Amino acid sequence: MDNMILLDIETGDFDVDSGIYELAVLVIKDGRIIQSEHIAEVYDERIRHLGMGEGYKNISENQVMQERFQHIINTYQFPIVAHNVSFDRKFLVHYGWLEENYECYDSVRAIKYANPNLFSYSLEYLLNYYDIDLPLTHIAIDDVYALFEVIKKVDPKKWIPLYKVPPKKFNKFVEATANVEGESLVFQGRRLVFTGASPFPRILMKEIAAKCGAIVTGNVSSKTDLLICGEKPGSKLEKARELDIEIQTDEWFIDAVSKDLNLETATLTRQSVAATKETRYEKITYTKIPELRGKFVNIALLPFRIQKKVEDILINHMEVAGINRGTNGYKVDFIIHSDDREYVLLGKAKEMQIIAIPLSKFNRMILS
């Protein structure tokens, strides 16, 4: 996609009531930036560096700021692209900055199509994986430039617009598909938890999740893969953040389901599901890392949801001698760890000449 309006927002929290604090926009024409805007109002310059909207005023209902954004939209009329666009769009539509039917695309989805075998698609992980020397500051203007560099590097060829389904259509969809044969694989084997108020009936969303291969549970734990949030999600959201569990919105969930299930007509055949199974999961050939063969590897510093996958690759493809999951496990040759944190174990590993490999680097090595 050569023409787009790339954007990033910083909000007070997950709920739309928390407000918009920053909106950064890059207008991309023929693959080049032709305009940039940082729509925000600083109230405390001393804490801006903290990111996440710190140091900025709530501009959700600021008419002047809203008109600046709408002027860009109306001038270029390019589709909007954002990283996890359903989240940004939820805020922009709620406060009247964006029309409900404006065309939006999710860069996460486009990058997944281009490179489906990454362990994470967070912006920070992608910057590390593609070796892009830019920090993720959580200041909107910095992050939108970082996203532009990632998109340039990946050069996605497949862009699918965000599916926007009204709740009333969703009710019809659930009734129509209650007895559908076969299942989608979009959430195959993943543990999902739903929380928060939603216009989409929870009992029906859980039914759809189950049809898509998910294991739906009521509580967040270290085994949870994904938390789907409506408004005012409460303690489950806090616990998911503590455990570094992926968090998405109701709108994201509906969009993800729409890839395999036709929400307009609510029809699905066994044949179409079978085709999905064949095309979605192709056998991956990993590049062997000779240095790992016959060695012991510690994976304790990886999120629980990723440990099992990495362990499978290490044992079945890298032929390691053994796996250690202990946070004080120093009798190893290598440690594979998350990119986004500093750990005491890594400091001690350096003293003991244990080789530490960031997850993004390991990911790059096995896919090279």
Tell me: the pLDDT tens digits for 163-189? 665 555 555 544 444 443 345 678 888
pTM for the whole structure: 0.79
When comparing pLDDT for 6 and 265, which is higher? 6
pLDDT band at residue 270 using 50, 70 and 90 as cut-offs: very low
How confident is the model over 34-52, as a mean pLDDT?
93
Q: Strand pairing of 32-40 and 80-82?
A: unpaired
DSSP, res 162: P
Q: Is the pLDDT of residue 59 over 50?
A: yes
**Which range, 198-212, 276-290, 329-343, has the best average confidence (pLDDT)?**
329-343
The pLDDT assigned to 169 comes to: 54
Q: Is the pLDDT of residue 70 over 60?
A: yes
The pLDDT assigned to 263 comes to: 46
DSSP, res 239: H
The C-alpha atoms of residue 82 and residue 105 are separated, in whole angstroms, by 7
DSSP, res 161: B
Look-up: residue for tokens 């999951």?
Answer: 325
The C-alpha atoms of residue 89 and residue 109 are separated, in whole angstroms, by 15
Residue 55 phi/psi, 5-degree rounding, is 85, 0
When comparing pLDDT for 24 and 351, which is higher? 24
Residue 103 phi/psi, 5-degree rounding, is -70, 125
The pLDDT assigned to 340 comes to: 78
The pLDDT assigned to 208 comes to: 82
Q: Which two tokens stand for residue 115?
A: 């490179």
pLDDT band at residue 279 using 50, 70 and 90 as cut-offs: very low
The C-alpha atoms of residue 135 and residue 169 are separated, in whole angstroms, by 42
The pLDDT assigned to 266 comes to: 37
Largest CA-CA distance found in the chain, in angstroms, rounded: 63
State CA 160 to chain mean position distance.
16
The pLDDT assigned to 205 comes to: 81
Q: What does pLDDT average to over the chain?
A: 85
How confident is the model over 240-247, as a mean pLDDT?
87
pLDDT band at residue 206 using 50, 70 and 90 as cut-offs: confident
The pLDDT assigned to 164 comes to: 60
- How many C-beta atoms surround the C-beta of residue 352 within 10 A? 9
Q: Is the pLDDT of residue 257 over 70?
A: yes
pLDDT band at residue 222 using 50, 70 and 90 as cut-offs: confident
Q: Is the pLDDT of residue 267 over 50?
A: no
pLDDT band at residue 67 using 50, 70 and 90 as cut-offs: very high
Q: What percent of the chain has pLDDT over 90?
A: 54
Q: Is the pLDDT of residue 291 over 70?
A: yes
The C-alpha atoms of residue 159 and residue 67 are separated, in whole angstroms, by 28
The answer to whether 336 touches 309, Cβ cutoff 8 Å, is no
Secondary structure (DSSP) of 179-216: T-SS---TTTT-EEEEESB-SS-HHHHHHHHHHTT-EE
Q: Is the pLDDT of residue 114 over 80?
A: yes
Out of 180-184, 256-260, 297-301, 305-309, least confident range: 180-184
The pLDDT assigned to 177 comes to: 44
How confident is the model over 113-132, as a mean pLDDT?
94
Residue 161 pairs in a beta bridge with 105
User: Domains in the chain and their CATH numbers?
Assistant: 4-154 (3.30.420.10), 167-280 (3.40.50.10190), 290-367 (3.40.50)
The pLDDT assigned to 261 comes to: 54
Q: What percent of the chain has pLDDT over 70?
A: 86
The pLDDT assigned to 166 comes to: 55
**Which range, 45-54, 257-266, 277-286, has the best average confidence (pLDDT)?**
45-54
How confident is the model over 267-281, as a mean pLDDT?
35
How confident is the model over 230-249, as a mean pLDDT?
87
The answer to whether 209 touches 187, Cβ cutoff 8 Å, is yes
- In one-letter notation, the amino acid at residue 276 is T
pLDDT band at residue 260 using 50, 70 and 90 as cut-offs: low
How confident is the model over 108-117, as a mean pLDDT?
93
How confident is the model over 221-246, as a mean pLDDT?
88
Burial class (CB in 10 A: 0-12, 13-18, 19+), 316: exposed
